[in-house]
Homo-oligomer: A and B are copies of this chain.
């Protein structure tokens, strides 16, 4: 992208994540285009409302689309779909990205960047690890409860990481101007594994045992199970070439104990009858670790439990 011009943004998936970050960017004056599925008519008429702990605001319904072929090509495409809908990316991305544009994967889990790289090319992919508590509570209406920062890193297939590129800095600046704290990340792969250390046990166990984070941490049995699972994920990261210390597990457990009670996103999805994001959060890490000779038996078991529960949930 041309460093002198204003960066244009396309938001693919205007749920809690895409709606929040897209609205923040637009409020700061950026050129933002939203692809909206179920709420299209509502958002076109009423725009997007953010009910935030930091103060409520709304943005209007300009540049809202329900058909990707009507969208302009943009400099930056924010992928904020549920990963269960990622099969549409190969069709959508070529429509909305400039030849020099960048795709930012804002989803959880492992492997989306690889798939996007296969569509747009490796050097045009970044990943964002979002730390935000937000949910869509009505059409075009997002409640932002806590946090909101993200880490932004350049994708690369090397476990040493790509370092912090000028493109990452430039995009981070836009978000920072919009009021979003962004930390440039030198090693996206490592950061993804670190996030999995939390996401795998707490998303998985919260569904398998129908329990929130506080219930899981208050029981010494499930706290120890979460620890076992976390240690396996750290082992998996190490097997895949990422240097992650075991002490990170204790840090994550302590942070979880200190958090207010929280329903992980997979639990919210499960309760709302949505398909679980098991492929990127469970299957891909299991496959990657396994290919490196490190099976993660507790993670594998939790994954199978989730597949069974997901299948039954989808029939209800």
Interface residue ranges, A against B (CB under 8 Å): 208-209, 211, 215, 219, 221-222, 224-225, 228, 297-298, 300-302, 304-305, 307-309, 311-312
Is there contact, CB below 8 Å, between B298 and A224?
Answer: no
Counted per complex, copies of this chain come to 2
Question: 12 A-B contacts, Cβ less than 8 Å apart?
Answer: A208-B208, A208-B305, A209-B305, A209-B309, A211-B312, A221-B304, A221-B308, A222-B308, A224-B304, A225-B304, A225-B305, A228-B301
Chain A contact residues: over half helix, strand or loop, or mixed?
Answer: helix
In the complex, A304 Cα to B228 Cα: how many Å? 11
In the complex formed, the residue of B with least CB distance to A232 is B297
Contact B311 A221 (CB under 8 A): yes
Q: Contact between A302 and B301 (Cβ–Cβ < 8 Å)?
A: yes
With A219-B311, A221-B311 already in contact, the answer to whether A301 and B304 are too (CB < 8 A) is no
**Known interface pairs A208-B208, A209-B309, A309-B209; A222-B298 also in contact (CB < 8 Å):** no
| Cβ–Cβ < 8 Å partners of A221 in chain B | 304, 307-308, 311
Whole-angstrom CA separation of A219 from B38 in the bound complex: 32
Q: How far is the CA of A302 from the CA of B209 in the complex (A)?
A: 11
Shortest CB distance A222–B (Å): 5
Given A208-B208, A209-B309, A309-B209: A222 touches B304 (CB 8 Å cut-off): yes
Bound-state CA distance A302–B225 (Å) is 10
What are the residues of chain B within 8 A of A215 when measuring CB–CB?
Answer: 312
* Pairs A-B, 10 closest by C-beta atoms: A297-B297, A225-B304, A221-B307, A298-B301, A222-B308, A221-B304, A221-B308, A219-B308, A301-B301, A209-B308
**How far, in angstroms, from A301 to B221 measured CA to CA in the complex?**
10
Closest residue of B by beta carbon distance from A297:
B297
Inter-chain contacts of A308 with B (CB < 8 A): 209, 211, 219, 221-222, 225
